[in-house]
Amino acid sequence: MPITDILERNCKLYGNDICLVEINPEIKETRRVTWKEYELIEPNPVTHYRREITWSVFNEKANRFANLLIQRGVKKGDKVAILLMNCLEWLPIYFGVLKTGALAVPLNFRYAADEIEYCLNLAEVDVLVFGPEFIGRVEEIAESISKNRLLFFVGDSCPSFAEDYNSLTANCSSQTPMIVLTDADDAAIYFSSGTTGFPKAILHNHESLIHSCKVEQNHHGQTKQDIFLCIPPLYHTGAKMHWFGSFLEGGKAVLLKGTKPEFILDAVSKEKCTIVWLLVPWAQDILDAIDRGDIHLTDYELSQWRLMHIGAQPVPQSLIQRWKKVFPHHQYDTNYGLSESIGPGCVHLGVENIHKVGAIGKAGYGWQVKIVGEDGEQVARGEVGELAVKGPGVMTCYYNDEQATKEVLRDGWLFTGDMAQEDADGFIFLVDRKKDVVISGGENIYPVQIEDFLRTSNKVKDAAVIGIPDKRLGEITAAIIEVKECMNCTEEEINTFCLKLPKYKRPRKIIFAEIPRNPTGKIEKPKLRKIYGGESLVAVQNNS
């Protein structure tokens, strides 16, 4: 069954139900409305910063865009890129593309103009849909990319080099186009995060997308009554595939534009959200704001919030222990995945396994996992090896890159590039990225283990560990430390704290600086290596 069938079903069963809400608290009214006051506003409070649509409108908008594309010659197998910030139009556009039989190609909103052009060419994109935030970047490359592509603009004041999505779709049919789709048909191209170089184009079919719906619903038990708060960018598989669990059940989702702790808690409170997926920095920010007294939980209605889950990066055990002290009634879960395995869920902790916090879990619903050595053979429990996964959500290939595909796909197994080990109970723990392992004096050092330890300090907000060149040892470890607000920390304090580590794991260099993370929360280690990768480093005192 193609994933577009779920939208058609939801439209028929729940047509008048609200399915998507967009909130932009950056432009909300200046007077703060408490959740108690909010309860008194009838019906369906809507202000100038809040928009919503029903399932019938969602489906209608998807159909109108699909019919526009078909009018313009877009056919099965063509590619349509989406360059939008999270907004109410995003998902109807995505499904409109799929309804034509074309492939949806979401683009990272952080891409510079040359990166946008690179991805359009790599994926052989035929149409680009973009929003107002990207006018400048698209204008830089408009002359070259518009020669063989359609450009549609979503927003007010359409630029001269593009066509107006709103006016064009308003005049298109709202009927479902009669395009026959199967599970085997190509559906989408996602790009790797690019943390190790230029992004790769990852091809998935409809079977992958459908499987991700089933995985998410199986893991988190979404019902029609659950309300999912979506904060991460929709271009990334993580955000969208977690939403797919609600999509499968016809539940409502809230798209929140903003990550400040007060924005998140406001949205949970006022929209009655029951499920929230957070990235590590956002969870830390919420807890820190509570600790400082900037936020008072009594100002919010949070009793309905049942599940907080985290993914996209290693999760410090200390963070979840802190969280459970503040929110003891919350179920907690973590999901491991990558864009090549259609996002989260190929490995899954499970809400019933809170005693195993720190692990990424066991094989997810419909998935197989194994940990292998350099020879490709499975290693014994407790030994470190590369994690490989197999299941219906594995990518078809890296588009237009046969060599890269061969390197990671072998007999249906996807070799993830993540080093892991399995404990006596069969739970898998991430050790580090294969390419991030630091080899110092012949000893393998896994930065994630050191980072997790450093974050247990009550002065450390975030930490990243990289290898830097050393004439004698080949590499040594450098720890970049981001100190909590309103705290002072010295190199001597960090070194003393690290005495609890085995000697070979203790960082040899300490640097106080902010930790750069991409929109999905991953530490941008190539950027750190570029900044700090020289042989001469000086620790800079953070006096914030």
CB count within 10 Å of CB 223 equals 12
Q: Which CATH number fits domain 437-532: 3.30.300.30, 3.30.70.270, 3.40.47.10, 3.40.50.300?
A: 3.30.300.30
Q: Spell out the domain ranges in the chain.
A: 4-326, 437-532
Q: Give the pLDDT mean for 328-344.
A: 90
Residue 500 has pLDDT above 80, yes or no: yes
- The model carries a pTM of 0.81
Least confident of 45-54, 59-68, 99-108: 45-54
pLDDT tens-digit series, residues 382-430: 998 999 999 999 999 999 999 999 999 999 999 998 889 999 999 999 8
pLDDT tens-digit series, residues 252-311: 999 999 889 999 999 999 999 999 998 888 898 899 999 999 999 999 999 999 999 987
Q: Give the pLDDT mean for 309-326.
A: 82
Distance separating alpha carbons of residues 256 and 279, to the nearest angstrom: 14
SS3 209: helix
Length of the chain equals 544
Distance separating alpha carbons of residues 262 and 471, to the nearest angstrom: 48
Residue 31 has pLDDT above 50, yes or no: no
Distance separating alpha carbons of residues 380 and 387, to the nearest angstrom: 13
Q: What is the pLDDT of residue 295?
A: 93
Q: What is the pLDDT of residue 213?
A: 95
Angle between helical axes of 55-71 and 90-99 (0-180°, round to 10): 50
Average pLDDT, the chain: 88
Percent of the chain with pLDDT over 70: 90
Residue 33 has pLDDT above 60, yes or no: no
Residue pair 218/212 in contact by the 8 Å Cβ criterion: no
| DSSP of 70-124 | HHTT--TT-EEEEE--S-TTHHHHHHHHHHTTPEEEE--TT--HHHHHHHHHHTT
- pLDDT class for 472, splitting at 50, 70, 90? low
Q: Which CATH number fits domain 4-326: 3.40.50.12780, 3.30.565.10, 3.40.50.150, 3.40.225.10?
A: 3.40.50.12780
